[in-house]
Structure 1
Amino acid sequence: MNWNDLRYFLVLADEGSLSGAARRLRKEHTTVARRIEALELDVGTKLFDRLPRGWQLTTAGQNLVPVAERVEEEALAFERQAKGDEAAHGVVRISVPPVAGRVLFAPRLARLLTAHKGLEFEIIGAANIVNLARREADIAVRMVTPREPGLITRKLVELGVGLYGAVGYRDRVPSRDWEFCGYEDTAYGASKKEWVRHVLGRELPCRFRADDTETVRQFIAAGHGVGVLPRYLGDRDEQLELIHADIDGKSRETGWMVVHPDMRRSPGVRLVMDALIKAADEISEEFQV
């Protein structure tokens, strides 16, 4: 048996579809199906019913989920222990929001690669929260407060935000006709919408929502409406003008560094942790208010 197939089994069991499992594993859906079929052949039983609406666990599959979870937990603990004892070389997987990674942290991390020839970085620029216990990443930067128990967390920085429009937008468009470029219907998106309602004294119509900051920025720059962006991004963009700053800090964003305790001993991970802390220290004070 290929023990790595258990990871495919658990992810597919959790997602319930080949496409969802493939996205999470960052593999082709055909690869996921092939690994599951190989596992079923190895154990001699059918684990999933292939249904039009998705892949559903059979009774045998359901019974094997807790067993597979225990095996995976031990295997991951073994891997983390081994990685924690190695020298400062090899691959360090870093999860960081795409825009923050590119603008705030990439320069410092690039200098770290230059200084340590044995290191390799794999940047996971996804907005979703990766599972550190499952080694989906070795270290993560998050713009939401970490909730998982047992992880090591450190506040990196508090970042200010502002309400922006394209240059000349508020002169061309009467305020009664303003529209809001919003984020998807999450707690984050709702908080930004509520802050705009607070500062403007009314709720703006919203016909556009996105799940990433860069797409929102592009729609604002194209003149579709106004929207909330971090100051480090909006203030540097010559296509945008600041309409209202978050002076009282009601919508300020906190950046957190998160790492699994077993990975903290890894020399490579420790170097990345130090680099992220230094990068946060270098963020201009004007972007923190």
Structure 2
Amino acid sequence: MDETNFDWDDLRLFLAVGREGGLGPASESTGKSPPTLGRRMLALERRLGLELFERLPRGYELTDQGRDLLNKVTAIENRIAPLTDAEKLRRPVVKVSAGQWVTDLLCKKAADLVGGTSVLLRFIAADHVLDIGRREAVIGIRNRRPDQIGLAGRRIGRVQFAVYAVDSHVVTWARVIGTTPSARWLGEKIGGSPAIEVTNSRNALDLALAGAARAVLPTFVGDVQKGLQQVAPPIEVLEHEQWLVTHDEDRSLPEVRHMIERIYAVLRAAAK
């Protein structure tokens, strides 16, 4: 490809859409609106006579022709990067997706995760699973081995859950309204027992610390809380594996490889 025949800005936008996997995420990093990006990508495809993207309901997925162009444009980017101040100042973004409790733990260790790097770390706390294949996240913390083609996984350990309270005399439950396994388990268990309902798992911990309720918590959370104690054995049916997941094409990037190692160290220390 002769890059002198193209507007570099079009290629830069193509890189953003291709790497982020959609117009919305690319809009955040480029400052262009999704409709503008959509028009620019369509114009680029027509100019090249190539089909670069498969347009799906949840994002843009590169075709074989798109991946080939991405590799070529990345090579151009690497050659011209030292010549442009904007590229020299670019901070690689690493998006980390996990549930609320793991995100809280990683936030507490954020200084250790980013120390000595130029990485812009972005935490995405979500109970639903983000699609790493479409680059909704770069690194995901999951409760099972990845089975999607193109994803790589590294087993961290096991996560246990138990019931915590200031003492065993507390009978009111802190019930989290949600669809997580622990929320479903508690919803089935408590029946007509007294309960206080919350929509955020962090508030269940707050209620337990205040002595107002007992809460189901991961042991890596509950065991380190001053004033709380396990008031029942770990709940076997909620125990699960923990996996660190990323895309095969991303895990060799320096900033991603670096973050994988540091996140693994933090979570491995907390896992059983």
TM bin (shorter chain): 0.5 to 0.7
The DSSP-based 3-state class of the residue aligned with 1:214 is: helix
Q: After TM superposition, list the pairs within 5 Å mapping 1:190-201 onto structure 2.
A: 190-194=184-188, 197=189
1:101 aligns with 2:103: yes
Tell me how far apart the structure 1 counterparts of residues 41 and 183 of structure 2 sit (CA, whole Å). Answer: 46
Query: Residue 264 of structure 1: CA displacement?
Result: 1.8
When the two structures are aligned, how many residues end up with a matched partner?
A: 231
Q: After TM superposition, list the pairs within 5 Å mapping 1:20-35 onto structure 2.
A: 35=34
Cα distance change of structure 1 residues 240 and 91 upon mapping to structure 2, 3 Å threshold = same
Indicate the residue corresponding to 2:237 in structure 1: 250
Q: After TM superposition, list the pairs within 5 Å mapping 1:1-289 onto structure 2.
A: 35-36=34-35, 39=38, 67-69=54-56, 72-74=61-63, 75=66, 82=74, 90-103=92-105, 106-107=108-109, 110-115=111-116, 117-143=117-143, 146-165=146-165, 167-168=166-167, 170-171=168-169, 175=171, 178-194=172-188, 197=189, 204=193, 206=195, 208-210=197-199, 212-246=200-234, 249-283=236-270, 288=272
Kindly provide the amino acid, as one letter, of the partner of residue 134 in structure 2.
R
Tell me how far apart the structure 2 counterparts of residues 25 and 206 of structure 1 sit (CA, whole Å). Answer: 43
Aligned residues: CA RMSD: 4.3
Tell me how far apart the structure 2 counterparts of residues 133 and 80 of structure 1 sit (CA, whole Å). Answer: 17
The DSSP-based 3-state class of the residue aligned with 1:262 is: coil
Kept in 2: contact 1:139–1:258 (CA 8 A): yes
Tell me how far apart the structure 2 counterparts of residues 209 and 26 of structure 1 sit (CA, whole Å). Answer: 34
Query: Residue 36 of structure 1: CA displacement?
Result: 3.5
Kindly provide the amino acid, as one letter, of the partner of residue 123 in structure 2.
I
Kept in 2: contact 1:183–1:216 (CA 8 A): no
Cα distance change of structure 1 residues 77 and 273 upon mapping to structure 2, 3 Å threshold = farther
Specify every segment of 5 or more residues in structure 2 that has no aligned partner in the other structure, as ranges.
1-9, 44-52, 79-90
Cα distance change of structure 1 residues 41 and 93 upon mapping to structure 2, 3 Å threshold = closer
Tell me how far apart the structure 2 counterparts of residues 208 and 101 of structure 1 sit (CA, whole Å). Answer: 22
Query: Residue 259 of structure 1: CA displacement?
Result: 0.7
Cα distance change of structure 1 residues 73 and 113 upon mapping to structure 2, 3 Å threshold = same
The DSSP-based 3-state class of the residue aligned with 1:250 is: helix
Cα distance change of structure 1 residues 122 and 179 upon mapping to structure 2, 3 Å threshold = closer
The DSSP-based 3-state class of the residue aligned with 2:250 is: helix
Query: Residue 189 of structure 1: CA displacement?
Result: 2.2
Indicate the residue corresponding to 1:51 in structure 2: none
What TM-score do the two structures reach when normalised by structure 1?
0.60
The DSSP-based 3-state class of the residue aligned with 1:244 is: coil
Cα distance change of structure 1 residues 11 and 261 upon mapping to structure 2, 3 Å threshold = closer
Cα distance change of structure 1 residues 251 and 126 upon mapping to structure 2, 3 Å threshold = closer
Q: Which has the higher contact order (CA 8 A, sep 6+)?
A: 1
Query: Residue 146 of structure 1: CA displacement?
Result: 4.0
Kept in 2: contact 1:96–1:126 (CA 8 A): yes
Specify every segment of 5 or more residues in structure 1 that has no aligned partner in the other structure, as ranges.
13-20, 45-65
Kindly provide the amino acid, as one letter, of the partner of residue 93 in structure 1.
K
Cα distance change of structure 1 residues 258 and 213 upon mapping to structure 2, 3 Å threshold = same
What TM-score do the two structures reach when normalised by structure 2?
0.63
- What is the CA deviation profile of residues 188-207 of structure 1, one whole-angstrom value per residue up to 9, with x for unaligned ones? 5223545xx3xx9x774555
Indicate the residue corresponding to 1:56 in structure 2: none
- What is the CA deviation profile of residues 59-86 of structure 1, one whole-angstrom value per residue up to 9, with x for unaligned ones? xxxxxxx942496324578668949x98
